[in-house]
A and B are shown apart, each in its own frame.
Chain A
Amino acid sequence: MDFGRISRRHLLQGGAALTLGAAAGARPAFAADTTIGFIYVGSRDDYGYNQAHAQGAAALKKIPGLKVVEEEKVPETDAVEKTIESMINLDGATLLFPTSFGYYNPHMIKMATKYPKLRFEHCGGLWSDKDPKNAGSYFGYIDEAQYISGIVAGLTSKSGKLGFVAAKPIPQVLRNINAFALGARSVNPKATTQVIFTGDWSMPVKEAEATNSLIDQGVDVLTCHVDGPKTMVENAARRGAFVCGYHTNQSALAPKAYLTGAEWNWEALYPKFVKMIAAGEGIPNFYRGGLKEEIVKVSAYGESVSAEARKAADEAKAKFLSSDGFAIFKGGLVDNKGKTVIAAGTDRGQKDPELEKMDYLVEGVIGATS
Chain B
Amino acid sequence: MADGSIGLWTVPLAVLGGAIRVSTPFLFVSLGECITERSGRINLGLEGTLVMGAMSAYGISYLSGSPWLGVLAAGITGALLGALHAGICSLPRVNDVAVGIALMLFGTGLAFYLGKPLIEPTAPRLPAIDFGWWSDIPQLRAALRVNVLFLIGVALAPILYWAFRTTRWGLLIRTAGESSDAARAMGHSVLLIRLRATMVGGFLAGIGGSFLSLFYPGSWNEGLSSGQGITAVALVIFARWDPLLCLWASLAFGGAAALGPALQSVGVTSGYHLFNAAPYILTLAIMIITCSPKRTLTGAPAELSITR
Contacts and interface: CB of A to CB of B under 8 A. Distances in A.
B116 A209 contact: no
Contacts of B126: none
Contacts of B273: 199
B6 interface: yes
Contact of A46 (B212, B221, B226, B265): B221
Given A45-B116, A209-B22, A203 B264 contact: no
Interface in B232-265: 257-258, 260-262, 264-265
A271 B224 CA distance: 34
B21 to A, nearest CB: 8
B270 A370 contact: yes
A313 B31 CA distance: 53
Interface string B256-287: 01101110111101101100100000000000
Contacts of A206: 257, 260-261, 276
Nearest to B128: A238
A367 interface: yes
A146 interface: no
Interface string A200-235: 001111111110111111100000000110110011
A136 interface: no
Given A207-B217, A230-B219, A216 B139 contact: yes
What bracket does the count of chain B residues touching chain A fall in? 35 or more
B187 interface: no
Given A208-B217, A209-B258, A212-B17, A217 B223 contact: no
Contacts of A194: 265
Contacts of A228: 221, 223
Contact of B265 (A43, A45, A208, A217): A217
B55 to A, nearest CB: 13
A234 B14 contact: no
Given A235-B217, A368-B270, A209 B262 contact: yes
Interface in A160-216: 160-161, 194-199, 202-210, 212-216
B179 interface: no
A231 B219 contact: yes
Contacts of A73: 112, 222
Interface string A37-48: 000001101110
A159 interface: yes
B261 A198 contact: yes
A267 to B, nearest CB: 17
Interface of A: 42-43, 45-47, 73, 159-161, 194-199, 202-210, 212-218, 227-228, 230-231, 234-235, 238-239, 253, 366-368, 370
14 contacts: A43-B221, A160-B3, A199-B272, A205-B22, A205-B224, A208-B217, A208-B218, A212-B14, A212-B21, A217-B5, A217-B265, A218-B5, A231-B218, A234-B218
Interface of B: 3-6, 10, 13-14, 17-18, 21-22, 112, 116, 119-120, 122, 139, 142, 212, 216-219, 221-224, 226, 228, 257-258, 260-262, 264-267, 269-270, 272-273, 276
What 8 pairs across the A-B complex have the smallest Cβ distances? A202-B223, A218-B5, A368-B269, A213-B265, A208-B217, A210-B261, A216-B139, A204-B217
Given A209-B260, A218-B4, 20 more contacts: A45-B120, A47-B120, A73-B222, A196-B265, A197-B264, A204-B221, A204-B224, A207-B217, A209-B21, A209-B257, A210-B265, A213-B10, A213-B258, A213-B261, A217-B266, A218-B5, A231-B218, A235-B217, A367-B269, A368-B269
